[in-house]
Amino acid sequence: MYSFLNIFFFIFHSALMIFIIFGWMWRKTRVANLVVVLLTVFSWFILGIWYGFGFCPSTEWHWQVRMKLGYYDLPNSYTKFLVDSLTGLDVSQKLVDIFAVLFLTLALFSSVFTNVLGKRERFFLWEKFKKFIYHE
């Protein structure tokens, strides 16, 4: 059972990360993406006050499963685990955290932008930006 859960969490968590980064691109998934991104931000920065920066319940559960399987030398974040597993390297936790925050920030802005501003508003925003740049 634990072997199945280990594989499940590996697939689920990896797919969730891909959805967070790219889910805003498709109109049908934009609202769900915004909800997931906001929950992730809440988990990382609000729950992170008590459980540590970047706290993720999925990582917590996955680590509990991996410990039952005898894996005890686990990194602080799933992102580092994934990067190290896929590359075979031991990438710096700080570097992984910097890129994780960067990608989450980009995903947040992209999701908010595509959800809050419709096509018409984006057009007018672009026109205002052009006027500002070209002093029209």
pLDDT average, residue stretch 64-90: 95
**pLDDT recorded at residue 120:** 57
Q: What pLDDT does 45 receive?
A: 95
Tokens of 123: 């057009």
**Least reliable range by pLDDT among 2-6, 20-24, 86-90, 125-129:** 125-129
pLDDT digits (tens, 9 = 90+) for 11-42: 999 999 999 999 999 889 999 999 999 999 99
Its pTM surpasses 0.75:
yes
The pLDDT value given to residue 117: 72
CA distances 19 to 10, 27, 29, 68, 89, Å, are 14, 13, 9, 28, 25
pLDDT at 131 exceeding the cut of 80: no
How many angstroms separate the Cα of 80 from the Cα of each of 43, 44, 112, 120, 133?
17, 15, 26, 40, 40
Model confidence at 121, pLDDT cuts 50, 70, 90, reads low
At 134, is the pLDDT very low, low, confident or very high (cuts 50, 70, 90)? confident
Helices 2-22 and 30-41: crossing angle, nearest 10°? 110
